[in-house]
Amino acid sequence: MTRFRHAAAGLLVPAAVLAVGLMFAHHPMIVSGLDRVQAEPVDPRLINYILEHSYRWLSGAPCHKSLSDPPIYYPTPNVLAFSDTLLTVAPLYWPWRAAGLAADTSYQLWLLGLSALNFLAAYLALRRCLGLGELGSAAGAFLFAFSAPRVSQVVHPQLYTQFYTVLMLGSLWLAFNRRDDPAWRRGLYWLGAFLGLAAQAYAAVYLAWFLALGGA
């Protein structure tokens, strides 16, 4: 029981910081009861359309039979490649639509989910890789997920999909700093780094490009 209480108490700090961060970054949506969508009508509509296309493809809608061919710019093929595909972050959108929520509401919850995952990924990386304390990790995760450079990109929500970058960097850190681990475990570290980069590319190609460039 004591161990359980200690673990629960340890979750209070990151949970509280996450709640503050979500309110800080997404208060227009939250305070309105999801009546308002952040933040302007260009990229958010495009991203919502791409997410909706992938959901309708998954559910077998007649006009969305090909994942790579959304029904726009007909008869041009492979239109999905004209933008970020969002394939590795669309699964965060699908359950809301499957539950019967509207497309715009599902988009809002998807955006909140991205912010939460950015925070949680950074928090775990700082705790497990760098060994920071709960408060330090929560503060660093807050900066990663909710600082001005991130929040200002709410008009380009595809740039919120950066938790895969943390997966890659965290995996690389483990690969280079835990060389005494068994070979199979070190192989998993390298696999995690590769999958993190690939997943980032299928989520937002700009972030993947700068990740590869910065890593090199």
**pLDDT digit string (tens) for 45-91?**
999 999 999 999 999 999 999 999 999 988 899 999 999 999 999 99
User: Can you give the pLDDT at residue 39?
Assistant: 77
User: Is residue 5 predicted with pLDDT exceeding 90?
Assistant: no
Residue scoring higher pLDDT (107 or 39)? 107
Task: Write phi, then psi, for 166 (nearest 5 degrees).
Answer: -65, -40
Which amino acid is it at 113? G
The model carries a pTM of 0.92
SS3 call for 66: coil
Peptide bond into 39 cis (omega under 30): yes
Q: Map tokens 């639509």 to a residue.
A: 97
CA torsion through residues 66, 72, 73, 75, sign: positive
Q: What one-character DSSP code corresponds to residue 39?
A: S
User: Can you give the pLDDT at residue 3?
Assistant: 66
Note the pLDDT tens digit of each residue in 133-190.
999 999 999 999 999 999 999 999 999 999 999 999 999 999 999 989 999 999 999 9
* CA–CA distance, 104 with 44 (Å, rounded to integer): 10
Which amino acid is it at 212? A
